[in-house]
């Protein structure tokens, strides 16, 4: 595993040695060149607490995604508030995480072709689990 630190110094995480990343102004993309999908993370400093469940449901509503309660997961883990949801389109699989801790809000998405989701999703979830916030 290797450690990635966000360019804005909000968080760090671990990615497998064979994964790469690309940074843009909007997000950072993580992927395995031989893999099937991409994990993208956007980080924001926000002035107040974020209701991650509300934000996730609003995002899904804006995307016209029918919400199935059994796919919605809400957690409090290591002082992180986490909401996640997965869904399928005709051709793609998506999983979304909204994570908030101490004024830092992370919007994370993973997508790949439908049918390929089980190839990398456990690795992606390990990456998400490895997120640590940097005190700044």
For the chain, which residues make up each domain, given as ranges?
2-133
pLDDT tens-digit map of 96-124: 999 998 889 999 999 999 999 999 999 99
Determine contact, residues 99/24, Cβ cutoff 8 Å.
no
Q: What letter would DSSP give residue 129?
A: H
pLDDT tens-digit map of 57-87: 999 999 999 999 999 999 988 788 999 999 9
Q: Per CATH, is 2-133 categorized as 3.40.1000.10?
A: yes
Res 77: pLDDT: 82
Across the chain, where does the E strand assignment appear?
A: 2-5, 11-15, 19-23, 28-32, 37-45, 73-77, 80-88, 92-101, 104-113, 132-133
β pairing state of 73-77 and 132-133: unpaired
pLDDT tens-digit map of 121-136: 999 999 999 999 887 5
Q: Residue 113's closest CA among 86, 90, 136, 79?
A: 90
Entry pTM: 0.93
């Amino acid at each position: 595993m290797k450690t990635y630190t966000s360019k804005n110094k909000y968080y760090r995480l671990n990615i497998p040695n064979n994964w790469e990343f690309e940074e843009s102004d909007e997000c950072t993309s993580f992927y395995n060149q031989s893999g099937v999908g991409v994990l993208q993370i956007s980080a924001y400093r926000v002035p107040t607490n974020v209701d991650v469940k509300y934000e996730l449901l609003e995002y899904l509503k804006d995307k016209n995604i029918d919400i199935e309660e059994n796919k919605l997961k809400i957690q409090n883990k290591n002082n992180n508030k986490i909401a996640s949801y997965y869904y399928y389109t005709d051709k793609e699989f998506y999983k979304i995480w909204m994570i908030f801790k101490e004024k830092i809000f992370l919007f994370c998405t993973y997508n790949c072709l439908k049918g390929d989701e089980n190839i990398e999703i456990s690795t992606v979830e390990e990456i998400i689990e490895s997120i640590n916030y940097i005190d700044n």
